[in-house]
Every structure is written in structure tokens, then in C-alpha cells.
């Protein structure tokens, strides 16, 4: 399976900047040996999807509500994302877990809603610096996997240590190898053979200069990229570092 290189634009970019970034990514997206995905702010998903239609770059949301529709002021549903051209959605990002109080149970419901709408979920897990310092990283990630993934699960997992997000601190290749091997074991324990086929992305200060080393680690099925996805050249350089299928 090809590696997936996903860009999380977070809350960055006005309309014209989002369009320019999408065009820049599309311009270098031909002939890569990986899958490419960009996740703009919800307001820009439709316009970016129009720009990227017919290119190898897929579009995703950064969150969705667990219901299909209803009285949920300010939210968007997975069905709405799908309707405007998104085929992926990031769920349970640590910024949503921390800033919006999202629990594993809620993330599981959102994941189910995404799958029901035909939108592939990327479910994020990862420990905080304190949890790692206390030697609890695998326990925390194990609980997050058990609580956030519905059965069956048709999606992707992203391991994003919270202390590595937006900090410039990258997990070492040894940390990534150990955690990805643990996640693979947990996925197989939860889903049997199907757990072998679930891609596990690494996320946390991935950039062009460290991408090749991180993407070469066993059980790393791609990267979830924040800051470095806001520059088309840097994002494409990460994509070129992906392992060929």
C-alpha cells in the first residue's frame, strides 16, 4: 500500500492563500509514489476540492460532527464534507482532544459517522510529555486505540506525540519504531488480520529534512504534517521522501 502524506492546514489561510497553496501542491503532485491529501479549514474545503478535482491530491476535513445533521451550531457533518468533495477527515487530533474536550467515546462516534458517510477517518492518538516522562506512553496510546476505534474500522491511525506537534521536537526513529510496532500489535489484537492492513501515520514536526528517515521506519505508513504542509515546496519534498509502493 502506498504511503499517505497528509497535510493538516489547521486554522491557516484566507481564501486566496488556500487556493494558491492547493494549486502549488497540485503542480508538483504528478508521478509521486505516495498518496497525497490536504486538509484545509472547513470553510475552504469546497473551493480547494474544486481546484484539486482531476489531480492526484485528495481533500479532507479536520473534524466532523458525529450526527448526520441537526441542531449543532457551528459544526459540519461528514456527509457535508463528502458532498463538497472531501474523501477524508482527521479525527481526534490532540488540539481537539485538549481544546474541545473530545473523549475517546466521542471520537469513536465521529469515526463511525465518517465511515457511514463514505469519508475515510484518520484517527489521531498520542501521549503528552508528562505521560511519556511517567513511562505511560504505550498505556495511554493503547487506551486511546481501544476507545476511539469502532469495530470494524476502515481508516487510518496517526501516531502524534503531543509534545512533538508544532514544537520542532521530533520523536527519534527509535521512539517511532517502538510505538508503531506497539500500535500494529494493538490493531492486530483488536481487528485480527485486518489490523495488519491499517496504515499508521507518524505526525509531529515532520519536515523535508527528517521525512526520509521517519518514513523508512517499519510500520510507518505515511505522515501527518502540520506546519510544513503550509508551503507547497516543503510538503512536496516530504512526499518525494515517501517510500515507493
Residues marked as catalytic: 93, 160
* Location of C-alpha cell 521530533: 170
What one-character DSSP code corresponds to residue 243? P
Q: What distance in Å separates the CA atoms of residue 93 and residue 173, rounded to the nearest whole number?
A: 22
Neighbouring C-beta atoms of residue 106, cutoff 10 Å: 19
* Interface map 117-156 toward ligand PEP (x if CB under 6 A): ----------------------------------------
Backbone angles phi, psi at 88, to 5 degrees: -135, 160
| Residue 208 engages ligand PEP in binding (rule: CB under 6 A) | no
Q: Which is nearer to ligand PEP, 148 or 205 (CB)?
A: 205
206 binds ligand PEP (CB under 6 A): yes
By the rule CB under 6 A, 37 interacts with ligand PEP: no
Q: Does 8 bind ligand PEP (CB under 6 A)?
A: yes
Number of residues that bind ligand PEP (CB under 6 A): 13
> Does residue 165 interact with ligand PEP by CB under 6 A?
yes
CB 36 within 8 A of CB 239: yes
Site for ligand PEP in 218-237 (CB under 6 A): 224-228
Residue appearing with cell numbers 521525512: 211
In the bound state, the residue with its beta carbon closest to ligand PEP is 226
**Phi and psi angles of residue 124, each rounded to the nearest 5 degrees, phi first:** -95, 140
CA distance 78 to 60: 10
Which residues make up the interface to ligand PEP (CB under 6 A)?
Answer: 8, 160, 165-166, 203-206, 224-228
Amino acid at each position: 500500500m502506498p504511503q499517505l502524506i497528509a497535510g493538516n492546514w489547521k486554522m491557516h489561510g484566507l481564501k486566496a492563500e488556500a487556493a494558491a497553496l492547493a494549486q502549488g501542491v497540485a503542480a508538483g503532485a504528478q508521478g509521486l509514489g505516495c498518496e497525497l491529501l490536504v486538509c484545509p479549514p472547513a470553510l475552504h474545503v469546497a473551493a480547494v476540492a474544486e481546484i484539486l478535482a482531476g489531480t492526484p491530491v485528495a481533500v479532507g476535513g479536520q473534524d466532523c460532527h458525529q450526527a448526520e445533521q441537526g441542531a449543532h451550531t457551528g459544526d459540519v457533518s461528514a456527509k457535508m464534507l463528502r458532498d463538497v468533495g472531501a474523501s477524508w477527515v482527521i479525527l481526534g487530533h490532540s488540539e481537539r482532544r485538549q481544546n474541545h474536550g473530545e473523549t475517546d467515546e466521542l471520537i469513536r462516534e465521529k469515526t463511525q459517522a465518517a465511515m457511514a458517510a463514505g469519508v475515510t477517518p484518520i484517527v489521531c492518538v498520542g501521549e503528552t510529555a508528562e505521560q511519556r516522562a511517567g513511562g505511560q506512553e504505550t498505556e495511554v496510546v493503547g487506551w486511546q486505540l481501544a476507545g476511539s476505534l469502532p469495530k470494524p474500522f476502515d481508516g487510518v491511525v496517526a501516531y502524534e506525540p503531543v509534545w512533538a506537534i508544532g514544537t520542532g521536537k521530533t520523536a527519534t526513529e527509535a521512539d517511532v519504531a517502538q510505538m508503531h510496532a506497539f500500535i500494529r500489535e494493538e490493531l492486530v489484537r483488536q481487528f485480527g488480520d485486518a489490523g495488519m492492513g491499517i496504515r499508521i501515520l507518524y505526525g509531529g514536526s515532520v519536515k523535508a529534512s527528517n521525512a526520509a528517515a521517519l518514513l523508512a521506519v517499519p510500520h510507518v505508513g505515511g505522515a501527518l504534517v502540520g506546519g510544513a504542509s503550509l508551503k507547497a515546496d516543503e510538503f512536496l519534498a516530504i512526499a518525494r521522501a515517501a517510500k515507493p509502493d
